[in-house]
A and B are shown apart, each in its own frame.
Chain A
Amino acid sequence: MQDFSAAFGLAFDLILSGNADLAEIVLLSLQVSLTAVLFACLIGLPLGAATAIFRFPGRGALIVLMNAMMGLPPVVVGLFLYLMLSNAGPLGPLALLYTPTAMIIAQSILVAPIVAALTRQVVADLHSEYDEQLRSFSVGRWAAVGTLLWDGRYSLMTVALAGFGRAIAEVGAVIIVGGNINHVTRVMTTTIALETSKGNLALALALGIILVGIAVAVNASVMSLRATAARAAYA
């Protein structure tokens, strides 16, 4: 198909020409998804660590729920959030619909279960190794949560990256609650959806190539940081 070669050519042209619209869209994508990952980590890291360490009633159900919610369909999250944020909905007065904030909330909901479930795994493994030693140190349970999160930080970076991957690639939720408004809530994925619907398949694919490139760049920079800083802590 000629669309492929056209797409690669177009992708390079777009990048090299320093297209201002593209830069705006890319920047908004990064801002929305990185912020969502940040919030998801604020929720998911302690939640995952707590379910790894503490035994409490309903823990099993919570773990099943967290694991199941890793597969939440974005469009369902978008719809749910739309009904909440709509002016006819309970949170309408906040006037968040069709704003980047709404998109951040949507992606946070999508990413938090991933961060929580994977964090639980990482922390549980570390906990089984550290448990006796930390109890020998007479370190309290809550202090142990902090210790395990800190010592698991390099594995948890990968967890955050998995969350980022889901956020940056997601379109179903942000197109509903963001509305794909030009210069306001238009991000990479909604632009790709729009250009596809216009039949601009080459342009859509070019944007897709750039999106993949951004995802690779973010992953590479985090992983290289992890490699240089932590190569050893894991021996």
Chain B
Amino acid sequence: MIRRRFLALAAALTVATGLAAPLQADDKFIIVQSTTSTLNSGLLDAILPQFTDKTGIEVRVVAVGTGQAIKNARNGDGDVLLVHAKPAEEKFVADGYGVARHDLMYNDFVIVGPKDDPAGIAGMRDILPALERIAQAAAPFASRGDDSGTHKKELRLWKDAGVDPAAASGTWYRETGSGMGATLNTAVGMNAYTMSDRATWIAFQNKGDFAIAVEGDPALFNQYGVILVNPEKHANVKAEWGQAFVDWLVSGEGQTAIAAFEVDGQQLFFPNAKEGGGS
């Protein structure tokens, strides 16, 4: 009797686990290596169904930092790359890993910080003096520190401001080594300034008493690009479907979908593709 019950349990487990198999059955899909900002903001969830309805191609998004997304794509673990670090993207194409790079859309970066504003930068428009002030005040600043597009941009801005934040690493300059959302959580938790793309910031739900301190400098411009991974490098790349996705994104229809996406009544991404033209 005991034996029978035991076997029944084993059988039940086997049946339950056997159900895992069908989940891999759909085969008309592409994998997009992208950044957390496009996913966390909700943009992709909003626009992908339109593409899938039209073409029957399912889009599977792996959202990681730009640096990791590019590495994954170099390994051939994706069909399309959608990130925001133009120099790295251009190198990716120049090295032969991508077919062509298309400007897709932009938004901008903002510096967010606590209400009491220890560095006294709230309301500033120019980013470089604001960064200098943060450094002078030794006010805590949380950096992504993860080789993401945002991190690369931030490092370039520090350099332009003539500050070497690496020297202050571990004191007021704190590298979280995490994604945008995790870094925002950390910044809020320790009252540190941080730099975020506007989309992630607006969609972020744990703002505490934080607000945007610096915005509007053209240097904070954040351009997203989209690239088809080169099927000549990796034969597994689903070039036809991936190209269909790229074409749709830069088409009038895709651009309209991007423009239509709003959170709390604010448009988060501004389409700027030149249809048909790579860069």
Contact = CB atoms under 8 A, between A and B. Distances in A.
Contact of A38 (B14, B77, B179): B14
Interface residues of B, number: 41
Given A87-B75, A95-B236, A197-B179, A32 B205 contact: no
A181 B17 contact: no
Interface stretch (B56-64, B124-132, B250-258, B264-272): B56-64
Contacts, number: 104
A92 B5 CA distance: 42
B136 interface: no
A27 B9 CA distance: 18
A180 B39 CA distance: 11
A230 B16 CA distance: 24
A88 interface: yes
A31 B19 contact: yes
Interface string B59-87: 01111000000001011110000000000
Interface stretch (B88-96, B147-155, B166-174, B181-189): B181-189
Nearest to A203: B205
A31 B16 contact: yes
Contacts of A31: 16-17, 19-20, 23
Contact of A225 (B5, B24, B36): B5
Given A87-B234, A197-B181, A198-B40, A184 B23 contact: yes
Interface residues on A, range: 35 or more
Contact of A230 (B2, B19, B31): B2
B110 interface: no
Contacts of A89: 75
A101 B25 CA distance: 12
Contacts of A34: 13, 16-17
B17 A35 contact: yes
Interface string B1-33: 110011001000110110110011000000100
Nearest to B19: A31
A111 B35 CA distance: 31
A222 B9 CA distance: 9
B76 A88 contact: yes
Contacts of B17: 31, 34-35, 38
Nearest to A179: B62
Instruction: Identify the 4 closest CB pairs spanning chains A and B, nearest first.
Output: A197-B181, A87-B76, A199-B206, A179-B62
Interface of A: 27-28, 30-32, 34-35, 38, 86-89, 92-93, 95, 97-101, 104, 153, 179-182, 184, 194, 196-201, 222, 225, 228-230, 233
